[in-house]
Amino acid sequence: MTAQIPATPQGLFISFEGIDGAGKSTHIGALAEALRSAGRTLTLTREPGGTSLAEKLRALVLHDPMEPLTEALLIFAARRDHLVRVIEPALARGEVVLCDRFTDATFAYQGGGRGFDLDVLGQLERWVQADPAGAGLIQPELTVWFDLPPDVAAQRLAGARVPDKFEAQPVAFFQRVAQGYADRMTHAPQRFARINADQSPSAVWQDVQAVFKAKGWIS
């Protein structure tokens, strides 16, 4: 009798997006629990960050003033290190990678919010996320976008903690960021799940669960 070799599960790359204050962190934690219960091994990570080098770049990006191209280059440098050293190896091991923000945030914040050239961002995306197997770009399989009106987000964030460079921006900045996310979704509608984040946390959680149940990833 030949021994059955258990099949390695397919790696799964999932990102979470939304303007500051949209409330994604709580739900990422709850989803991690649900996916673990479904028998999956997880890598929980974030951007900018996820490696020791990328976390150093994160501190610079979040707190030091810099011009837009420098900001975009540092974010994509952090992303490259994170992809090569954490995300790709975890996917190759068949894990689920839950990433708190990814490239859509760059298009939304640097592109939408700051008004930086989207073609340059697209070029950087193609360099940094080129699939080593030659199959296009590495992108999340699913992007969960917590969509919240910027004025509601501003009320939630008011007085919550000392704001970083982005959190300190006015509501008009976040209106452009939200539009940036909407534009990214228009270009890749099959990848995005838009969640109405202007509801109670339990209603938001119901909607998030429904997306993952429909995919058959949790029960």
With CB under 6 A as the contact rule, the residue among 31, 35, 96, 109 that binds ligand TYD is 109
Cα separation, 20 vs 101, in Å, equals 11
Is 85 exposed, middle or buried, given 0-12, 13-18 or 19+ CB atoms closer than 10 A?
middle
Of 88-96, 99-107, 120-128, 136-144: span binding ligand TYD (CB under 6 A): 99-107
Query: Which one of residues 60, 68, 141, 166 is an interface residue with ligand TYD (CB under 6 A)?
Result: 166
Q: Assess 100 for contact with ligand TYD (CB under 6 A).
A: yes
The reply on whether position 145 binds ligand TYD by CB under 6 A is no
One character per residue 56-95, x = contact with ligand TYD (rule: CB under 6 A)? ------x------------x--------------------
Which of 78, 96 has the CB closer to ligand TYD?
Answer: 78
Binding residue (CB under 6 A) for ligand TYD from 20, 81, 95, 147: 20
Q: Using the rule CB under 6 A, give the single segment among 1-9, 27-35, 80-88, 102-110 that binds ligand TYD.
A: 102-110
Which of these segments, 29-37, 98-106, 179-187, 200-208, binds ligand TYD (CB under 6 A)?
98-106
DSSP character at residue 108: I
First to last CA, the chain: 34
- Binding positions for ligand TYD, 35-54, rule CB under 6 A: 47-48
CB atoms < 10 A from the CB of 29, how many?
11
Does a cis peptide bond (omega within 30 degrees of 0) precede residue 149? no
In terms of DSSP H, where are the helices of the chain? 24-37, 52-63, 68-82, 88-92, 103-105, 118-128, 150-157, 171-187, 201-214
Nearer of residues 48 and 140 to ligand TYD, judged by Cβ: 48
Do 187 and 181 form a contact (C-beta atoms < 8 A)? Answer: no
